[in-house]
Amino acid sequence: MSLDMSLELEGNSPDWVALEDAVRAVGVEDFENTMKKRNENDFLAKYVAKEEKFDGFFSKSRSHFYLYKRVELGELYAEGRHGCNFKVQYVIVFRINNAHYTEFVEDVYAFLEKLATISPMQFVLSFQSEEVYAIRNKQGFEFFWHAPR
């Protein structure tokens, strides 16, 4: 059995470079990021649709993550705004390996803390959009793993 958590990212063009840097700092395997901007001078880049991927496995917890794109920019699904006021189009979904739950908590904390230090991009991490476990808003980064809000 596994659990899924959602990381809702600010806007329709998140900071993919910072996301990659943060996830690599934690330790990741089988990682693929096709979301970095292409060279605008690349002739074919203007005419060929790219597959949108940001996925891999955390090395320690063996938890998988993948990208979900909403059809259009919309409101946060997570209940309670917690000082976050932004629209969302991209969500990173974490599929947690229950056998390594403690390691996942360590992995996701390290990932989000690193992300918050290298990018001002806002985000909300929640379980089933009901319990919020972490936020990055304009005031800073907060992690409430033992007391979700």
pLDDT of residue 146: 78
- Write out residues in the chain with pLDDT < 50, as ranges: none
User: pLDDT at position 121, please?
Assistant: 96
Q: With respect to residue 81, please indicate whether it lies within any of the assigned structural domains.
A: yes
Instruction: Give the range of the structural domain holding residue 81, as residue numbers without chain letter.
Output: 2-36+48-143
How many CA atoms within 13 Å lie on the side-chain side of 45? 9
What pLDDT shows up at residue 82?
A: 80
Q: State the pLDDT at residue 85.
A: 87
Amino acid at 141: F
Q: Please report whether residue 105 resides in a domain.
A: yes
Give residue 3's pLDDT. Answer: 87
State the total domains in the chain: 1
- Beta bridge partners, 142, equal 135
Closest CA to 4 of 61, 51, 65, 62: 65
Q: How high is the pLDDT of residue 42?
A: 60
Taking only the tens place, the pLDDT of each residue in 36-65 is 765 555 665 566 556 788 999 999 999 999
Give a yes or no: residue 101 inside a domain.
Answer: yes
Question: The CATH number of the domain where 127 resides is what?
Answer: 3.30.310
The token pair that represents 146 in the structure block: 């033992």
Output the pTM of the full model.
Answer: 0.88
Q: CB atoms < 10 A from the CB of 86, how many?
A: 18
| Structural domain includes residue 149 | no
